[in-house]
Structure 1
Amino acid sequence: MKKYSLLLLFLFSFLQSQEITDQQELKKCRKEYSKKICLTDEDKDGILFYLDKCPKESGDLENEGCPWPDTDNDGIIDKNDACPDVKGDAENNGCPWPDTDGDGILDKDDACPTIPGVASSNTRDNGCPENNCEKYLKKQNEIFKEFKVKNNAKKERFTTLRNIIFNHIPKKFLPGNNIIVSIHVNTFINDNIKDCASRSSLLHDKQLFLDQLFWNEETFKYLGKKLKKNIFPTIGFGKYPIVRVLLDDYESDGYYSFMENFSKAPGIRQSSSDQEIYYYPGSTQKPEFKQFESLRIRLLFPEYESKNQATVEFVKGNDFQSFTYEYNNGHWNIVSQETHNHYNR
């Protein structure tokens, strides 16, 4: 009797705990079923029988206890599916990813979505037209080898150019104990890869080769002896002095190994974390790397291959002067010059 009373008490408490949210619906249910059945939750979806339109299928309260449909069977219910009749991807709101160019590579994975292409393991090429860059770059390398052979055979003209340039430095640039020279001017390497041509470093390689033909060991000795000044080799236009890591890079290409014998000065900020910088000791005065106070010299060869031209620039403070020389019939001649005193650093 005691157990029976406890069971009744439990059942009463259970029924009372079922919140009756719609008396009208409950009354309708009671016309066909017992109160016990109306207050059950057979599918365990948290929705009582009298409110559940799908009492044997677990569903959502927002859909009256029924499961949301998934018409296209893509695993994304219709209410969240922007394309409910077509199978799609959850990342694309239930819609299929487009393939604009029809090459079988979805736009989201296609580096060239509007141009038919081929699949590639390289993401920057995937979906783009096939390019045989290996052959192209091999040809570029052959061109560079021919360029080096051709200009190595003519390197004596750089010695002649050196003598002309350094015997005609405008006097206003000469005061001071230190000179900064640019041994590598065109440091730009394209990182916007679009096709085979944009992967080529041929122009960069040619310019560096001409730079090192001019700025050889004899040039530093000649300039140091003539002007009796310390000479700091740099890249760019006097912006970055040569430190160990840069010299290692050049030596790996077979360039500027003679600088191993140069002297070293403290880093620019002269802190313990700075690397020492290389310089040619042409003066007994203290070496000081002062970019905007020292004479800066750089050679440019953009028209050398087509016109046999080279341009030298001298800069100190706001003073600027340049001379363009052209090699013709065994001689270098000035073809243009420029001077101003408001140089933009």
Structure 2
Amino acid sequence: MKIKVSAVLLFVISCFHAQEITDRDAFEKCRKENSKKICLSDKDEDNVLFYLDQCPEKAGILENKGCPWPDTDHDGVIDKDDLCPDLSGEKDNNGCPWTDFDGDGVLDKDDPCPADFGYASDDPQKNGCMKEDCKKKYEEGQARLKKFQEESKLVDYNKLQDKIINDLNLNLLKEENVVVFNKNQMITCGTIPGKNYYCPAYYDYETPVYSTEHFWNDKAVEKIYDKLPKNIIFASNYEGLGSGAEYEKDTILNRNNKQVRILDQYKVEHETLLYPKHKNIQTKINKYSSLFIKILKNDFENKIKVMIVYKNTDDHFGEKYIITYQYLDNQWKTIETNKEK
């Protein structure tokens, strides 16, 4: 009997607390539109009475006025605890997605090199890092470059330019018209700089002190013009993906010139300027030789490796020569010549 009385007493006390009005103004506002019974009801059983519950049909918490906390991005982290409420993320990262700053596929939290594009590795110390020690490679490269610069500071590269041009074999240029490629550019279509898992290049490693661009200055253009007893067209050569040629349309020499059209190897016409050496000039040119000069490599002891290609209309590949020059006794000397196919 005592047990039954105690149970009834606890029920009455709980009901009393459940019916306790904590916000008289909110209760009176509710009573104007609903009955007292409804205002004191708790349909969603979240212990927030109807007159205080802004979500009476959905269980919530008193702290949020009887409504559940929202999760806007549906990532399982409620907005009040979510540092990225509009972006689905991870619970372990306060509701934000794990970032990959360098875009190498290794998340920053697992990447000891988060700012440098790298490669995935089972070694946690290398995971997301370059395949090389970039700091070490940079220091070694700078030391190598300094050595090159010290060796070559008294070298006369104008004499090398003269030597290369004077040694050209004009007998290998058979046509009356010659296309001279005075510009060379490597095209790397479709690649993303730096994203090859290796350290970025800080300078031209093969030709650090004298490159093709150094060779082909205004003086070289004039010297080639004076050297060749041919009608001359200047052009740019593009290597790599999207390789091809672009023929010069603008005046680059203060010499007589004439607008002509030239057919390339694919029989496509291009407008260009021709610098004539002969009186009989055709306006459409489909037969011509070409001359290509490229500095391949600088080596210690002041050695320079040069590639020269002579090509004629009837020879698709042309004749290629790799010539090594060395600066000895204030002169450039040919120390090796190899013909390649």
Shorter-chain TM range is: 0.5 to 0.7
Match of 2:318 in 1: 320
Cα distance, 1:299 vs structure 2: 1.4
Give how far 1:308 is off: 3.1
Report the 3-state secondary structure (helix = DSSP H, G, I; strand = E; otherwise coil) of the residue aligned with 2:233. Answer: strand
Q: Aligned equivalents of 1:38 and 1:147: distance in 2?
A: 100
The equivalent residue for 1:241 is 247
Change (3 A) 1:323 1:94: closer
Q: Which amino acid aligns with 2:245?
A: K
Q: Provide Cα deviations, 1:72-113, integer angstroms capped at 9, x if missing partner.
A: xxx636x92334696442313463549xxxxxxx63445673
Q: Name the structure 1 match of 2:169.
A: 166
2:88 corresponds to: 92
CA distance in 1, matches of 2:56, 2:100: 34
Distance verdict in 2 for CA 1:59–1:198, change over 3 Å: farther
| Residue matched to 2:27 | none
1:295 aligns with 2:289: yes
Structure 1, unpaired ranges of 5+? 1-32, 43-48, 99-105, 248-258, 340-345
Aligned to 1:180: 179
Task: Tell me how large the CA RMSD over aligned residues is.
Answer: 5.3
The answer for the alignment partner of 1:208 in structure 2 is 212
Contact 2:257 2:273 in 1 (8 A): yes
**Alignment-derived partner of residue 194 in structure 2:** 193
> Partner letter of residue 310 of structure 1?
V
Q: Which has the higher helix share?
A: 1
Aligned to 2:227: 222
- Counterpart check, 1:261 vs 2:254: yes
1:297/1:315 contact within 8 Å kept: yes
Equivalenced residues, count:
256
Contact 1:326 1:333 in 2 (8 A): yes
Paired with 2:221 and 2:152, the residues of 1 have a C-alpha distance of 15
- Deviation for aligned residue 1:309: 2.5
User: Secondary structure, in 3 states, of the residue corresponding to 1:198?
Assistant: coil
Q: For residues 279 and 166 of structure 2, what CA distance do their matches in structure 1 show? A: 23
Query: TM-score scaled to structure 1, two decimals?
Result: 0.52
Per-residue displacement from partner, 1:43-97 (whole Å, max 9, x unpaired)?
Answer: xxxxxx8965553322285x46886534xxxx636x9233469644231346354
Query: Residue 82 in 1 paired to residue 76 in 2?
Result: yes
Q: Where do 5+ consecutive residues of structure 2 fail to align?
A: 1-30, 118-127, 264-269
TM-score by length of 2: 0.52
Q: Give the whole-Å Cα distance in 1 for the aligned partners of 2:235 and 2:89.
A: 58
After TM superposition, list the pairs within 5 Å mapping 1:23-172 onto structure 2. Answer: 37=35, 53=45, 55=50, 56-59=52-55, 63=58, 69-70=68-69, 76=71, 80-83=74-77, 87-90=82-85, 91-93=87-89, 95=91, 97=93, 107-109=99-101, 113=108, 114-116=110-112, 149-151=153-155, 153-169=156-172
Amino acid at match of 2:193: N
Greater shift, 199-208 or 140-149, is seen at: 140-149
The 1:137–1:333 alpha-carbon spacing in structure 2 relative to 1, beyond 3 Å, is: closer
Structure 1 residues 157 and 215, CA, compared in 2 at 3 Å: closer, same or farther?
same
Q: Which structure has more RCO (C-alpha within 8 Å, separation ≥ 6)?
A: 2
Aligned letter for 2:238?
G
Identity value in percent: 11
Which amino acid in the other structure matches residue 324 of structure 2? E
Q: Report the Cα offset of residue 327 of structure 1.
A: 2.8
Distance 2:34 2:99 in 1: 57
Is the Cα–Cα contact under 8 Å of residues 180 and 294 in structure 1 kept in the other structure? yes
Cα 1:163–1:310 shift into 2, 3 Å: same
